Amino acid sequence: DNVRILHQVLKAVLSSFRFLSTRSMASKTPVGFIGLGNMGSPMAKNLLKNGYPVIATDVFPQSCKELQDTGAQVVDSPADVAEKADRIITMLPSSPNVIEVYTGPNGILKKVKKGTLLIDSSTIDPAVSREMAVAAEKKGAVFMDAPVSGGVGAASMAKLTFMVGGVVEEYNAAKELLTCMGANVIYCGQVGTGQAAKICNNMLLAIGMIGTAETMNLGIRLGLDPKLLAKILNMSSGRCWSSDTYNPVPGVMEGVPSANNYQGGFGTTLMAKDLGLAQNTATNTKTPVPLGSLAHQIYRVMCSRGYANKDFSSVFQFLREEDGQ
């Protein structure tokens, strides 16, 4: 009798293992990835590292080749991705790119399958996110916005923060993929609220960076050692992320763009774009953002003065040049 009971227990255990393994296998169905730039490429690599087959495309063949070498399948267009995958992530530079990739002649929605989950991690106008969600819904697909914070370093180390907007019932399905690429996944509400959170964060980030750069420049002009001034700020009430984690003054910190002639990091052009989005949404909602508007103008001027491809912390260098230093 004992032997029979033991046999039945073993059988039950084995069948549950089989059930679990088929379920985990099912969850590792291919994931589409469109947009393999500075952020998209490391994000897609982290999906591959987590055992997800990736079907990818990008307008630049070189970006595709690099990902292909790490095991991804590369196809010609977003429509081809939609044909082969029912979970697709997009990471694109701006609103027009997103509109083209989703609704263009070779766009995702040309061949999207019913029930497909579409996650857009681009930073775009919340109104465009809402438009894409409506267009996707007409094709029986689900669109969610999930912009990121953390930059290229966090993308490589899978430590991004995702701000997610969309129908709450689909949040867990999105979270399964996003946790492979990020340390924090936060549900913000309906479609477009992820973008809203991202835009608000970046407006504050720009204002804080300009304030830190002005403060450091003034202190240096007054004869203070920049490292000492940074140390004092970081133990005082003026402390902020730009002063203690991403200081804009060369020589104060290692491993940040200011230590490398402002190469890498988060480009001035992208910051100007995000501040433009903040400006548009502020105008549409009649919200006063005087410092946000000034920050937008400063970063736009920087773009026309040779800082477009430098990290946004190069505002320190820009201010030094403005005062003739």
- Residues taking part in catalysis: 198
Q: DSSP class of residue 112?
A: P
DSSP per-residue letters across 105-159: TT-HHHHPPTT-EEEE-S---HHHHHHHHHHHHHTT-EEEE--EESHHHHHHTT-
Q: How far apart, in whole angstroms, are the C-alpha atoms of residue 234 and residue 232?
A: 5
44 residue type, one letter: A
281 residue type, one letter: T
Phi, psi dihedral angles at 209 (to 5 degrees):
-65, -45
220: three-class secondary structure by DSSP: helix
CA-closest candidate to residue 56, choices 77, 70, 87, 39:
77
Q: Angle at Cα 274 formed by Cα 112 and Cα 95, nearest 5°?
A: 25
Q: How far apart, in whole angstroms, are the C-alpha atoms of residue 226 and residue 220?
A: 6
The structure tokens listed for 250 are 């060369």
Pairing of strands 148-149, 160-165: antiparallel
Q: Angle at Cα 137 formed by Cα 136 and Cα 142, nearest 5°?
A: 70
Place of tokens 């952020």: 39
Place of tokens 């005062």: 323
Please compute, for residue 109, the number of CA atoms within 13 A of its CA located in the half-sphere on the CB side.
Answer: 21
- Are the C-beta atoms of residues 205 and 241 closer than 8 Å to each other? yes
Q: How far apart, in whole angstroms, are the C-alpha atoms of residue 34 and residue 72?
A: 12
